[in-house]
Structure 1
Amino acid sequence: MAANPAPDVAGALGRQPHNPISRRQIETVVSRSVAIFGFVFGAQSVPVVLGQLPQMQQAFASLMIVAVFGGILASVVASFARKFVRAVNTYIAFAFLAALVSWPFVVIDPSKVETDRPWLWLLVTVATSAAAVGLSTWAATAYLVVAPIIYGVVRITPSGGGKDWEAASLDTAYAIILGGGVLILITLLRQAAASVDAAQVAALERYSHAVRQHATEVERVQVDSIVHDSVLTTLLSAARSYTPQAKELATRMARNAIGHLKDAAETSPDDDATMSMDQLAHRIMGATSTLSAPFELRAQQVGSGIISVQSAEAVYSASVQAMVNSLQHAGHGPEVRRWLSIVEGDGGGIRVEVGDTGAGFAVDTVPSERLGLRVSIIERVANAGGMVEIESEAGLGTVIRILWPRPESAATLADAGWEQVAS
C-alpha cells in the first residue's frame, strides 16, 4: 500500500497563478479606452469646429458643442471614477444623433460649408464606440447602422456639403466599418470575460462540493473510529468478561467509551485549541494503565512543540488502537513482548511506536472492511496531517509507527517487509 508523497503546500502557494481577468475588469479597460480615444479625437476636431463656427447659428452651435464635447469629457471622468459609465456613454450616443439631425437647421449659409465635411464626421466613430459601451449588443448594432446612415443623408444636403449618393455612401460605409470593428472587439472581450466568470463560479461550486464531501468523509472516519475503538471493543470485552478483574476492565472501558462519544459531540472541527507534545505523550502513556497487559516504555522524549487538539486526539486514538490491536491479535503467551516508544519527530513533531513480538500479519492481506487498522489508525492519522508506517511479518511481530506531522519526504525503506501507509 504505497502512498503518494505529501504535496509541497508552501511551494504550491508560491506558484499560484494570477487571478483571471473578470468581466468587471474588462468593462473598466474598455470604458477607459473608449473615453481616452474619444478625448483624443475630440481634441483633433477642435480646429475644424472653430473654423466652421462662424457659419453656424451661435446659440444652437454653442449648445451642440457643449452637449457633445461635455459628454466626451464626462465619459473620461466616469470611466476613471467607475461611476455612471453606461449612462454617460449612452448620453454621448444620443447627443451625437441629436446634433446630426439638427445640423441642417444650425448652418446659416450652406454655400460656405460645401467644400468641407461637417465637423461631426470626425466624431462618428466616437459615437458608435460610446454606443458599444453604453448599450446592449443588439442596440449598439442598430446604432452602428443608423448613425452613419443619418450622417450620409446629412452629407447629401446643401448644409452637409451637397455631395452625391456615391460619396455619401462611401463615408457611411467607412464609418460603419470602423465602428463595427470596435463593436466586435468589445463584444468578444465581454464574452471571453463572461466565460471566465462562469468558469470561476463553476469551479467554486465544485470546490465547495468537494470540501463538503471531505468534511463528511472525515466525520464518517471519526464516527467509525469511535464506534470501533470504544463501543465495539467494549462490547466484545464485556462479552468475554468472566472474572471480576475482566468485568472491572469492561466497566472502565464502557466509561471511557461514553466519554469519547461525549467529547466527539462537543468538539468542533474548527476548534483551534492546542496542547503541548509533552501533554500528548503523557496522555498516551496513561492509556496503558487501562489495558489488560503491560507495555514496556522504551523511550519518552518529546520536544516543546504544540499540536492542535484535533490532531492530538487523532494521534492519541490511533496509538491506543494500535495497542488494543496488539492485545487482541498478537497473542497472550509469555514469549510475546510489547513496547511503547514516544520520541520527537521531524520538525518538532511526535513519533509514536507501538510494537510486539507476537503473531504478526501480512499487511497486503488485511481486508478493507477491517476498521481497526484502516479507519482507526491509517485514515484517522492521515486526515490529521500525519502518516503511519507499518512493519509486520507473520510469526515475527508487528511495529506500527505514527508520525505527526507528515514528513516532507519519506526515506526509502530497505526492508521489503516495511510498508508506508498514508492518504
Structure 2
Amino acid sequence: MADLPAAFIAPPPRGRSVRNPLSLVRVDTAIARTAAGFGIAFFLQSIPAMIEQLPNLQPVWSSVIVTALVVSLALTALASAVRKQVRAAHIMFAVIYLVALVSWPFAVIDPDRATQDSYWLYYLLTIATAMATVGFPLRVATAYLLLAPAIYSVIRVMPAGGGVTSVQTALDSVYAVILGGAITIITAILRTAASSVDRAQATALDRYGHAVRQHAIESERVQVDAIVHDSVLTTFLSAARAETPEAKELAARMAGNAIGYLRDAVSVAPPSEADISIEVLASRIVDAAGALSEPIEMDVEDAVGGHVPVAVAEAMYSAAVQAMVNSLQHAGQNVERWARVRTERGGVVVEVGDRGAGFDAALVPNERLGVRVSILERVASVGGAAVVDTAVGEGTVVLLQWPMPPTGGSRP
C-alpha cells in the first residue's frame, strides 16, 4: 500500500519556566529600600558632627528636628520593608529635611562659634534628594535636587552657617547636585525601562488572550463542522440511499443520533480534567461499529489499562466512527473492514482500515470535510496525530494516536 506522509498539527511547545520579569513595582521597591538603607547609614555617619555642633543650637530646635528626622527615616525603612505608603514616607523625610535646612540659621545661638567644617545636615543632603526622587514626580524631584543644595550654599556663606568662602560652598553644592543628579537619572532610567517592560507584558498578555479566544473559536468551528458532517450530512446521504427496510431503519436511527449530537453540542461540556478508561472508549467504538450496515471486524483485546481525558476520548471516538462511515460510503460493498483499539505508551491507538477502492488523497477537494475536519483536525485539536494511508485500488488505513508520538505516527 502506498505510504503517504502524515498530516500532523504539532502540539504547543512546553516552554521552560522563567522568573518574573522586571516591573515598575519591583524597581520602585528596590530603589526605596536602597534609599532607606543608605539614609540610615549616612545618618549614623553624621552623629559625630551632630554631637559636636548641637551645643551651639537651640535645644528646642535640636530636639524637634533630630526627632523628626529619626522618626521619618525609620518610617521610610518600615514602609519600604512592608511596601505600604512608600512614597508618602519618603516625601515626609524630604520635606522635614528641607524645613530643617531653612530653619537652621535661626537655631544658631552664637554665629561666631559656627563650625567651619561641613554642617551635620550636609551628610543627609544627598539622601534627601534620593528620598525626593522616590516620592515626588520627576520634575518635582529635579527641582528639589537643585533647590536643596542652593539653600545649603546660601546658608553656608552666612555667619550663622560658618561664613565659609563661596568657592568651598560651591564645591560642596556642586558635589551634592552631581551625586543627587546621578541618583535621579539612574532612577528615572530604571523606571522608564520597567514601565516599558510592563507595557510590553500587558501587550503580550492582551495578544495571548486574543489568540486564546481565536483558538477557542476555531476549535468550536471544527467541532461544529465535524458534528454537521458526521451526523447531519451523513444521515441525509444515508436516508437518500435507503431502499431496503434495514437501510431505512438505520437511517432513522442515525437521524435520532444526529439530533442527540446537536442537543449535546449546546449543553455543558464535562470537565476537561475528567478521565475515562480506554476499555470504555473501545466499547463505544465496538457499539458504533455494530450499528453500521456492513460488518466490521473488531479487535480490542489490547485495549486494557490506562485512561484518557474525556475530550481525547470524544475526539478519538468521533474520528474512528467517521473513518468507519467513510469506509462504508466509499470503499465499496463486500470488502474486508476492521477496527483495532490498543493501549500503547500510556496512550491509545485506534486503527480503522479496509481492502476497498481506496483513493488519491491529493485529489480530495478542500470542501470535503470528512477527512480533514472530522478526522485529522479533530484528533490534532486534542494533541493527537492522525495518519491516512491510502492508494487507489489498495484500500485505506486510518491510524489515530494519542498522545502524538515524538517522532511521528507509526505505520500499520
What's the TM-score, normalizing by structure 1?
0.92
Secondary structure, in 3 states, of the residue corresponding to 1:266? coil
C-alpha distance in 2, partners of 1:2/1:180? 64
Report deviation, 1:62. 1.7
C-alpha distance in 1, partners of 2:8/2:57? 82
Whether the 8 Å contact between 2:7 and 2:387 is mirrored in structure 1 is no
Secondary structure, in 3 states, of the residue corresponding to 2:352? strand
Whether the 8 Å contact between 2:32 and 2:86 is mirrored in structure 1 is yes
State the Cα deviation string for residues 29-58 of structure 1 (Å, max 9, x = none): 111100011111100000000000111111
C-alpha distance in 2, partners of 1:411/1:210? 28
Q: Which amino acid aligns with 2:365?
A: P
Report deviation, 1:308. 2.1
Aligned to 2:53: 52
Q: Which amino acid aligns with 1:322?
A: A
C-alpha distance in 2, partners of 1:19/1:187? 21
Report deviation, 1:269. 6.5
Whether the 8 Å contact between 1:6 and 1:408 is mirrored in structure 2 is no
C-alpha distance in 1, partners of 2:185/2:37? 19
Q: Given the superposition, is the C-alpha separation of residues 4 and 324 from structure 1 closer, same or farther in structure 2, using an over 3 Å criterion?
A: closer
Secondary structure, in 3 states, of the residue corresponding to 1:301? coil
Q: Given the superposition, is the C-alpha separation of residues 76 and 54 from structure 1 closer, same or farther in structure 2, using an over 3 Å criterion?
A: same
Whether the 8 Å contact between 2:316 and 2:400 is mirrored in structure 1 is yes
Report deviation, 1:67. 1.7
* Mapping of residues 264-283 of structure 1, within 5 Å: 264-268=265-269, 270-283=271-284
Q: Given the superposition, is the C-alpha separation of residues 273 and 321 from structure 1 closer, same or farther in structure 2, using an over 3 Å criterion?
A: same
Whether the 8 Å contact between 2:282 and 2:300 is mirrored in structure 1 is no
Q: Which amino acid aligns with 2:60?
A: A
C-alpha distance in 2, partners of 1:269/1:143? 63
Match of 1:380 among 357, 374, 378: 378
Report deviation, 1:166. 3.0
Tell which has more relative contact order, 1 or 2 (C-alpha 8 A, sep 6+): 2
Q: Which runs of 5+ in 2 are unaligned?
A: none
Match of 2:394 among 381, 396, 415: 396
Secondary structure, in 3 states, of the residue corresponding to 1:162? coil
Aligned to 2:352: 354
Report deviation, 1:368. 2.0
Secondary structure, in 3 states, of the residue corresponding to 1:407? coil
Q: Given the superposition, is the C-alpha separation of residues 183 and 72 from structure 1 closer, same or farther in structure 2, using an over 3 Å criterion?
A: same
Q: Which amino acid aligns with 2:394?
A: L
Secondary structure, in 3 states, of the residue corresponding to 1:26? helix
C-alpha distance in 1, partners of 2:371/2:8? 19
* Mapping of residues 8-407 of structure 1, within 5 Å: 12=14, 15-268=16-269, 270-332=271-333, 334=334, 336-347=335-346, 349-407=347-405
Whether the 8 Å contact between 1:321 and 1:372 is mirrored in structure 2 is yes
Secondary structure, in 3 states, of the residue corresponding to 1:314? helix
Whether the 8 Å contact between 1:230 and 1:253 is mirrored in structure 2 is yes
State the Cα deviation string for residues 305-336 of structure 1 (Å, max 9, x = none): 1122221111111101001111111112x4x2
Report deviation, 1:381. 0.8
C-alpha distance in 2, partners of 1:43/1:136? 28
C-alpha distance in 2, partners of 1:397/1:410? 22
Q: Which amino acid aligns with 1:357?
A: R
Task: Answer with 229-238 or 363-372: which moved more.
Answer: 363-372
State the Cα deviation string for residues 168-197 of structure 1 (Å, max 9, x = none): 222221111110001111111111111111
Q: Which amino acid aligns with 2:400?
A: I
Whether the 8 Å contact between 1:114 and 1:158 is mirrored in structure 2 is no
Report deviation, 1:122. 1.3
Report deviation, 1:141. 0.6
Q: Which amino acid aligns with 1:66?
A: T
Q: Which runs of 5+ in 1 are unaligned?
A: 419-423
Whether the 8 Å contact between 2:401 and 2:409 is mirrored in structure 1 is no
Report deviation, 1:114. 4.4
C-alpha distance in 1, partners of 2:288/2:157? 101
Deviant stretches of 4+, over 4 Å: 1-9
Whether the 8 Å contact between 1:36 and 1:76 is mirrored in structure 2 is yes
Whether the 8 Å contact between 1:296 and 1:340 is mirrored in structure 2 is yes
Whether the 8 Å contact between 1:346 and 1:407 is mirrored in structure 2 is no
Q: Given the superposition, is the C-alpha separation of residues 8 and 25 from structure 1 closer, same or farther in structure 2, using an over 3 Å criterion?
A: same
Secondary structure, in 3 states, of the residue corresponding to 2:397? strand
Report deviation, 1:405. 2.1
Does 1:410 pair with 2:408?
A: yes
State the Cα deviation string for residues 217-249 of structure 1 (Å, max 9, x = none): 111111100100100011111122222222111
Q: Given the superposition, is the C-alpha separation of residues 4 and 172 from structure 1 closer, same or farther in structure 2, using an over 3 Å criterion?
A: farther
Task: Answer with 242-251 or 375-384: which moved more.
Answer: 242-251
Aligned to 1:421: none
Secondary structure, in 3 states, of the residue corresponding to 1:210? helix
Report deviation, 1:412. 7.5
Identity, % of aligned positions: 50
Q: Which amino acid aligns with 2:384?
A: G
Q: Which amino acid aligns with 1:197?
A: D
Whether the 8 Å contact between 1:117 and 1:161 is mirrored in structure 2 is no
C-alpha distance in 1, partners of 2:11/2:228? 31
Whether the 8 Å contact between 2:278 and 2:348 is mirrored in structure 1 is yes
Whether the 8 Å contact between 1:5 and 1:409 is mirrored in structure 2 is no
Report deviation, 1:59. 1.3
C-alpha distance in 2, partners of 1:325/1:406? 23
Whether the 8 Å contact between 2:130 and 2:180 is mirrored in structure 1 is yes
How many residues were matched structurally?
Answer: 408
Whether the 8 Å contact between 1:115 and 1:161 is mirrored in structure 2 is yes
Q: Given the superposition, is the C-alpha separation of residues 220 and 103 from structure 1 closer, same or farther in structure 2, using an over 3 Å criterion?
A: same
Whether the 8 Å contact between 1:340 and 1:355 is mirrored in structure 2 is yes
C-alpha distance in 1, partners of 2:118/2:243? 113
Secondary structure, in 3 states, of the residue corresponding to 1:294? coil
Whether the 8 Å contact between 2:356 and 2:393 is mirrored in structure 1 is yes
